[in-house]
Amino acid sequence: MTSDSPRGSPKMATLPRSLSSIVVSVVGLAMFLIFASLLLVSYPISSTVRGYFYSLDRKVVVTISPVNQSTVENLFSKNVDGIHKSPSSGSDLEVPMSSNNDKNAILTDNSPSDGIQVSISSSGSESSLKGKSTRSKGEEETSANSASISATSSVSVQSRCDLYHGNWFYDPLGPLYTNNSCPIVTQMQNCQGNGRPDKEYENWRWKPSQCDLPRFDANKFLELMRGKTLAFVGDSVARNQMESLMCLLWQAKVPVNRGNKQMQRWYFKSTSVMIVRIWSSWLVHQTSEKLDFAQEGIAKLHLDVPHEKFMEFTPGFDVIVISSGHWFAKQSVYVLNNEIVGGQLWWPDSSRPMKVNNIEAFGISVETSLTALATHPNFTGLTIVRSFSPDHYEGGVWNTGGSCTGKVKPLAAGELVENGFTDIMHKKQVIGFERASKKITNKSKLRLMDITEIFSYRHDGHPGPYRSPDPNKITQRGPDGRPPPQDCLHWCMPGPVDTWNELVLEIIRREFEGKQSASS
Q: Which residues are catalytic?
A: 236, 487, 490
User: Which residues face 286 on adjacent strands?
Assistant: 301
Q: Which of 400, 402, 396, 387 is closest to 487 using CA atoms?
A: 402
CB-CB neighbours of 242 under 10 Å: 24
Compute CA distances 354 → 331, 334, 427, 496, whole Å: 15, 10, 21, 38
174: left (phi over 0), alpha (psi -120 to 50) or beta: left
CB 245 within 8 A of CB 274: no
Q: Is 116 helix (H, G, I), strand (E, B) or coil?
A: strand
Interstrand relation of 300-306 and 332-336 (parallel, antiparallel or unpaired): parallel
CB-CB neighbours of 460 under 10 Å: 22
DSSP-assigned letter for residue 59: E
CB 449 within 8 A of CB 384: yes
- Residue 18 is inside which H or E element, if any? helix 17-42
Residue ranges of alpha helices (H) inside 67-170 are 69-76, 137-148, 150-160
Helices 497-519, 236-250: crossing angle, 10 deg rounding: 60
Q: How far apart are CA 168 and CA 163, in angstroms?
A: 12
Could you tell me the end-to-end alpha-carbon distance of the chain, in angstroms, rounded to an integer? 73
DSSP-assigned letter for residue 253: -
**Extended beta strands in 28-131, E state:** 59-64, 84-85, 92-93, 116-121
Q: Which of 496, 499, 504 is closest to 404 using CA atoms?
A: 496
Half-sphere exposure of 196 (CA within 13 A, CB side): 33
Cα 32 off chain centre by: 64
**Extended beta strands in 345-381, E state:** none
Residues 284, 286, 292: CA angle, nearest 5 degrees: 120
- Sort 123 into a burial class: Cβ within 10 Å, 0-12 / 13-18 / 19+: exposed
